Amino acid sequence: MERGSGWMAKRERVALRHGYRCAACDRVLMPGAWECDHIVPREQGGSNAESNLQPLCKDPCHREKSAREAHQRAKG
């Protein structure tokens, strides 16, 4: 897992690439209220490459996406 200043710089580039808007609902990203989401989850072979990252507002977009992914994992 990436951490520190390198990860923070990558998060910033991802947000900038999306115009500081949520990739799902297009809301303006507020500091501390968004997540850098893996489009393809790492557990499914996704990477930390910027092309696999998107900014999502924490609520509802990231929360709902995480719930859908958990539901899919539970179904097998």
The residue extents of the domains of the chain are 4-75
d(CA 5, CA 66): 25
Residue 69 three-state SS: helix
Confirm if 50 and 17 have CB atoms less than 8 A apart.
yes
- The pLDDT score that the predictor gives to residue 3 is 82
- The pLDDT score that the predictor gives to residue 2 is 77
Which CATH number applies to 4-75: 2.30.30, 1.10.10, 3.40.1800, 3.40.50? 3.40.1800
Could you report the per-residue pLDDT of 20-54, keeping only the tens digit for each?
999 999 999 999 999 999 999 998 999 999 999 99
